[in-house]
Amino acid sequence: MTLLLAGDIGGTKTILRLVQTLDGESWQNLYEARYRSGDFPDLAPMVQRFLETASGQIGEKMVAQKACFAIAGPIVNNTAKLTNLTWFLDTERLEKELGIASISLINDFAAVGYGVLGLDAVDLYTLQVGKSQPATPIAVIGAGTGLGQGFLIQQRDSYQVFGSEGGHADFAPRSELEFQLLKYLLDKHDIQRVSVERVVSGQGIVAIYQFLRDRQIATESSEIAQVVRTWEQEAGRSEKSVDPAAAIAAAAMEKGDRLSEQTMQMFVEAYGAEAGNLALKLLPYGGLYVAGGIATKILPLMQEGGFLRAFTNKGRMRPLLENVPVHIILNQDVGLIGAALCAARLD
């Protein structure tokens, strides 16, 4: 048996999970805890407290042999600096301070890629069954704060996970309205190009809403207007008091706010189109997995058909994309699952 430590490290909160491997194929979750990241000067004292508390709860001293921490940011030479914290993480230092033989730092979206390999059928909602093929790529895309993209390639009897910066590729308008959105964003931000992440993300939902509002495409409700105005007035603050993307999405699902409904329709179609772009580049007949917090929260909207229509609307390439299995990840612990799987692979 081996004790593994998995972590999802963010600027606001950190989730740690202690996992015991039962054999080469399965494991058991022993203990999990959440912490405010800013309450600690570094990851090491947080992990030390976590292991002490876990030992007390379980009734015996818990010593992890391997650990993997998923970081919301780039990993450079086994080091990472978190954007909203003063933490600077280095695997060699952490191994010494924590007494853990092997530690890995990986990007949080790479952790999602590993996590796909540990999901069960109950963790997924299948939008398109497709025709799965063995030994073919797996694609992962996920809209949240930004837009993550990655892929997995099978090598012998295991998969290797690769990240990408595909979310920063150019936004490609497909209609007159989307061309107007592109021009709106260029002018509003005084920029030379618009990345797809500016449209397909939480910030993208708000941007689409502002565009449709300012173009007077539909009447704005007083309730959503107040949320959006408050958010606009708090521009520049690290923490906002409102979440307009969530409010817009909720209003759209309640079918009571036409502007919000149009916003989310435009968002879902842009999301599907970009997922289709990723699928064209990889032909992921092992499956395309939609991750991120947004997809699960707007699942009824994802099910309405706009996502898949845009996904497969690729001209003569449509038959290829109709064969790609498309799944929405329902399990929000996919990153922790991936971190545990990554830890298990460490020497």
Task: Let me know whether 322 and 337 are in one domain.
Answer: no
> Is residue 338 domain-shared with residue 289, that is, in the same domain?
no
Output the pLDDT for position 84. 74
The tens place of each residue's pLDDT in the chain, 347 residues long, gives 789 999 999 888 899 999 998 765 678 999 999 999 999 999 999 999 999 999 999 999 999 999 999 998 789 999 998 877 889 999 999 999 999 999 999 988 999 999 999 999 999 999 999 999 999 999 999 999 899 999 999 988 889 999 888 999 999 999 999 999 999 999 999 999 999 999 999 999 999 999 999 999 888 999 999 999 999 998 877 778 899 999 999 999 999 899 999 999 999 999 999 999 999 999 999 999 999 889 999 999 999 999 999 999 999 999 999 999 999 999 999 999 999 999 999 98
Q: What is the pLDDT of residue 25?
A: 64
Q: Smallest Cα–Cα separation from 273: which of 151, 202, 152, 172?
A: 172
Helix (H, G, I), strand (E, B) or coil at 304: coil
pLDDT score recorded for residue 30: 94
Residues 321 and 340 in one domain: no
Measuring CA to CA, how many Å separate 201 from each of 136, 146, 237? 28, 5, 19
Q: Identify whether 131 is part of a domain.
A: no
Q: What is the pLDDT of residue 240?
A: 83
> Can you tell me the distance from the alpha carbon of 211 to that of 214, in angstroms, rounded to the nearest whole number?
5
My answer on whether 298 and 218 are in the same domain is: yes
Residue 316, SS3? helix
- How large a percentage of the chain has pLDDT more than 70? 99
Q: Cα–Cα distance between 189 and 173 in angstroms, integer?
A: 18
Handedness of CA 271, 293, 320, 168 (dihedral sign): positive
Question: What residue numbers bound the domain in which 171 lies?
Answer: 166-329
Tens of pLDDT, residues 23-33: 656 789 999 99
22 is a domain residue = yes
Assess if residue 158 is contained within a domain: no
CATH number of the domain residue 316 falls in: 3.40.367.20
206 and 102, same structural domain? Answer: no
Q: How many domains does the chain have?
A: 2
Cα dihedral 292, 282, 125, 269 in deg (nearest 10): 70
Q: How high is the pLDDT of residue 158? A: 87
* Residue 68 within any structural domain of the chain: yes
The answer to whether residues 289 and 338 belong to one domain is: no
Identify the CA nearest to 30 among candidates 20, 41, 44, 21: 20
The residue written with tokens 């969530």 in the block is: 246
pLDDT at 61 (0 to 100): 92
Q: 178 and 75, same structural domain?
A: no
